[in-house]
């Protein structure tokens, strides 16, 4: 196996597709959105990417069959819009691998004549979020103007710590190749997988692409997650009550 191995499963012809990246990250927001798109659009897998910068691991699928961890690219064609969707099990586990995999993704983007690239992610703020917000960053001003129309906020130095991993590198390295790219981030606690934030990001993305996608699966997952959070809060309250009681005894 080479350092990075690109297995092309199918040749497809796409017309200036938009590339969408949704690899695992903060709150798995990007991954939830991109995988939802793949399922709802019934997109077709055209590329598998393996690399020794990914963990040395296989996953067991439903029937007991294994597969090596990987990144995948799906294609979708429609009358007005073609898409390339990048999803995967992991991002690189090495510093160098992050850069090299991002370059590989951009090579593929160039090969298919991508017109623009949206990377999806979460922006962790360290507390539970009541009102959904979506913030953005881009390597080109035209995309900033475009996304502002759909409610994406562009703030001075937000996120303050920058954008780490593929969602950021595809913008930075894409700029060097003249590929217009923006990152769309759902504000999230950063503690848990956040399908609600993913919904907000998906809405913006669909608006920007002029795309209509059934959101019920994400909505259902968001409701499940809310029940989990409610339960976590109850446990926390119970524990804190118990702790106060203990302290009473000692005092």
Q: Tell me how far, at minimum, the Cβ of 3 lies from a copy of itself, in Å.
A: 8
Options 99, 192, 206, 217; binder of a copy of itself; rule CB under 8 A: 99
Containing 40, the helix (H) or strand (E) segment is helix 29-41
Provide the b/e sequence for 191-227 (b: ≥16 CB within 10 Å).
Answer: eebbbbbbbbbbbbbbebbebebebeebeebbeebee
Q: Which residues pair with 7 in a beta bridge?
A: 48
74: which DSSP letter?
E
Q: Is 93 in the site for a copy of itself (CB under 8 A)?
A: yes
Smallest Cα–Cα separation from 133: which of 125, 142, 143? 125
Options 11, 79, 130, 157; binder of a copy of itself; rule CB under 8 A: 157
Tokens of 130: 């009541």
Q: Choose the binding region for a copy of itself from 91-99, 194-202, 203-211, 216-224 (rule: CB under 8 A).
A: 91-99
CB count within 10 Å of CB 160 equals: 8
Q: Which of residues 24-53 bind a copy of itself (CB under 8 A)?
A: 52-53
Options 28, 71, 139, 197; binder of a copy of itself; rule CB under 8 A: 139
Nearer to a copy of itself, 24 or 76 (CB): 24
Options 11, 79, 130, 156; binder of a copy of itself; rule CB under 8 A: 156
Smallest Cα–Cα separation from 179: which of 25, 17, 45? 17
Containing 71, the helix (H) or strand (E) segment is strand 71-77
140: which DSSP letter?
S
Alpha carbons within 13 A on the beta-carbon side of 10: 12
Options 61, 130, 230, 245; binder of a copy of itself; rule CB under 8 A: 61
Residue bearing tokens 């913008």: 171
CA atoms of 184 and 144, how far apart (whole Å): 10
Question: Is the separation of the CB atoms in 86 and 23 below 8 Å?
Answer: yes
Options 80, 126, 162, 210; binder of a copy of itself; rule CB under 8 A: 162
Q: Choose the binding region for a copy of itself from 29-37, 93-101, 205-213, 223-231 (rule: CB under 8 A).
A: 93-101
Q: Choose the binding region for a copy of itself from 19-27, 75-83, 109-117, 243-251 (rule: CB under 8 A).
A: 243-251
Tokens of 72: 């995948």
Q: Choose the binding region for a copy of itself from 10-18, 55-63, 71-79, 188-196 (rule: CB under 8 A).
A: 55-63
Q: Which of residues 173-192 bind a copy of itself (CB under 8 A)?
A: 173, 175-176, 183
Write the Ramachandran bin of 129: left for phi over 0, alpha for psi from -120 to 50, otherwise beta. beta
Nearer to a copy of itself, 28 or 139 (CB): 139
Q: Tell me how far, at minimum, the Cβ of 222 lies from a copy of itself, in Å.
A: 22
Q: Name the residues that contact a copy of itself, by CB under 8 A.
A: 1, 52-53, 55-69, 92-96, 98-100, 102-103, 136-141, 144, 154-159, 162-166, 168-169, 171-173, 175-176, 183, 249-251
């Amino acid at each position: 196996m080479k350092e990075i191995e690109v297995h092309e499963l199918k040749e497809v012809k796409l017309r200036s597709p938009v590339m969408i990246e949704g690899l695992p990250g903060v709150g798995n927001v990007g991954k939830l959105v991109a995988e939802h798109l793949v399922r709802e659009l019934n997109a077709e897998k055209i590329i598998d990417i393996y690399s020794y910068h990914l963990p040395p691991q296989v996953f067991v699928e439903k029937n007991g069959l294994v597969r090596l961890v990987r990144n995948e690219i799906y294609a979708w064609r429609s009358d007005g819009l073609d898409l390339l969707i990048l999803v995967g099990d992991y991002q690189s586990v090495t510093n160098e691998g992050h850069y090299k995999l991002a370059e590989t993704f951009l090579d593929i983007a160039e090969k298919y004549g991508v017109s623009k690239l949206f990377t999806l992610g979460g922006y962790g703020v360290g507390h539970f979020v009541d009102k959904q917000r979506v913030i953005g960053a881009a390597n080109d001003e035209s995309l900033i103007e475009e996304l502002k129309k759909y409610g994406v906020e562009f703030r001075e130095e937000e996120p303050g710590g920058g954008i780490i991993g593929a969602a950021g590198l595809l913008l930075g390295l894409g700029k060097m190749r003249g590929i217009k790219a923006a990152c769309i981030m759902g504000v999230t606690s950063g503690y848990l997988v956040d399908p609600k934030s993913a919904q907000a990001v998906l809405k913006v993305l669909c608006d920007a692409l002029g795309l209509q996608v059934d959101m019920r699966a994400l909505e259902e997952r968001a409701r499940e997650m809310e029940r989990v959070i409610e339960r976590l809060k109850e446990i926390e309250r119970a524990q804190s009550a118990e702790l106060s009681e203990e302290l009473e005894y000692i005092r």
